Amino acid sequence: MTARQLGWYLVMPATLAVVIFLGWPVGGTFSTTFLDGSGWFSNYVNFFSSPFRRAVLWRTTEIALVTTVISLLIGFVTAYVVSRAPGSWKGILIVAAVFPLLTGVVVRSFAWLIILGKNGIANEIMLSLGIISEPLSMLYTKGSVIIAMVYLFVPLMILTIVGVLESIPDEYVDAAASLGASPFARFWQIVFPLAVPGLIVGAVLVFTGSFTSYATPQLLGGEQQMMMGTFLHQRAMVTFDWIGASTIAAIMTIVTITIVYVMSRLAKRLNPAAV
């Protein structure tokens, strides 16, 4: 038996497990969406022919993309500071960054209900400073959902990027400095390209998490800002439209795979060695 054949035998049990417990159920769910009494792909035609459903899909994609971009900016800056911190401070900063992950998603979302409510902390601060004359309605808007999503997923982004930044040898930056490169040039030509793999992984994690999120959009967006996760729950658990719910799940999967592919292509343009 060759080493190649031995390798195939070793990975076969795991491959079968993935096919049986993941591929088969997902494939069975998707297969029910392609054909019904109205003909092939009629479920998808019905979905995209509805202005309301198209609006839900677009809103979900928009919120997920905005959340990803903001999380990238905040996460990268924070991770850069953490990676350059002294050894004693680095551990403290990492613990502070990931501390929110120790609390459940629902609890953290409820916290934003208290902060952004009409009688919440944010309105009270702005009223006391004279910024506003009456409380603002900040709940059940895109902004409230995006703020809560960023709060939820920035720790993941920080953890993903910190490891990549710490793996960049200081000698590369020092060599560029000795050749006369400015701080911005050292960052843009050395640090950023080498950090691209971490940025892409973090962006994929944040986008998929925010695109498929249920609890946060339900609590902070409500019916006014319905997203695909809440729409899927409504079709499956309220109206018991399992075919419609399966169609929504299939569309969410396709959109997620498409966005991940686009991110990977973008990473390859920024750094050919990133993917």
> Where do the structural domains in the chain lie, given as residue ranges?
41-102+142-270
**Do 274 and 203 contact (CB within 8 A), yes or no?**
no
Distance (Å, rounded) from C-alpha 108 to C-alpha 225? 19
- pTM beyond 0.95: the answer is no
**Do 36 and 42 contact (CB within 8 A), yes or no?**
yes
Render each residue's pLDDT in the chain as its tens digit; 275 residues: 677 777 787 888 888 888 888 778 878 778 878 776 676 778 888 888 889 999 999 999 999 999 999 999 999 999 888 888 887 788 888 888 888 888 888 888 888 888 888 888 888 888 888 888 888 888 888 889 999 999 999 998 998 888 888 888 878 887 888 878 887 888 888 888 888 888 888 898 899 999 988 888 988 888 888 899 899 888 888 888 888 888 898 898 888 888 888 887 877 776 655 44
CATH fold for domain 41-102+142-270: MetI-like fold (1.10.3720)
Apex 157 CA angle, 152 and 158, nearest 5: 105
